[in-house]
Homo-oligomer: A and B are copies of this chain.
Amino acid sequence: MSKIYTPDTAALGVEQVLRLLEGRWKLVILFHLFDGKVQRYSDFGRLIPGISQKMLSQQLRQLEADGIVSRKLYPQVPPKVEYRLTEWGQALCPALDSMLKWAEKRETLQSPPEAS
């Protein structure tokens, strides 16, 4: 361990990384790539009814730029693009899974305070 992390600087690093997951649709997109699933651009539009094309491409590009999602283009006509998690993105799955479990606990642990 040559690295020196005080608790504070470590916390700051976490803040930076957490910002990569911000955004109205990123987690939802990630959930649809969970478990190694591969999706095409139009798949997301179908899986996530509320999202606009702009948001979809924007969030996908940010996830791609941040090294969480990879984009594979098949240069054919009509074009075909596949999205999947990168290796690092796959490493997020345990966290996503925990959040899934947490969501379910809401009903057993307390009565939900009525969706706002």
Min CB distance, A22 to chain B, in Å? 7
Q: CB of A65 within 8 A of chain B?
A: yes
Interface SS of chain A: helix
Q: Which residue of B lies closest to A48 (CB)?
A: B15
- How many chain copies? 2
Which range holds the interface residue count of chain A? 35 or more
A116 within 8 A of B: yes
| Chain A residues near B (Cβ < 8 Å) | 11, 13-18, 21-22, 24, 27-28, 31-32, 47, 65-67, 86-88, 91-92, 94-95, 97-103, 105-106, 109-110, 112-113, 115-116
Instruction: List 5 A-B residue pairs with CB atoms under 8 Å apart, sorted by A's residue number.
Output: A15-B28, A16-B115, A22-B22, A22-B24, A65-B116
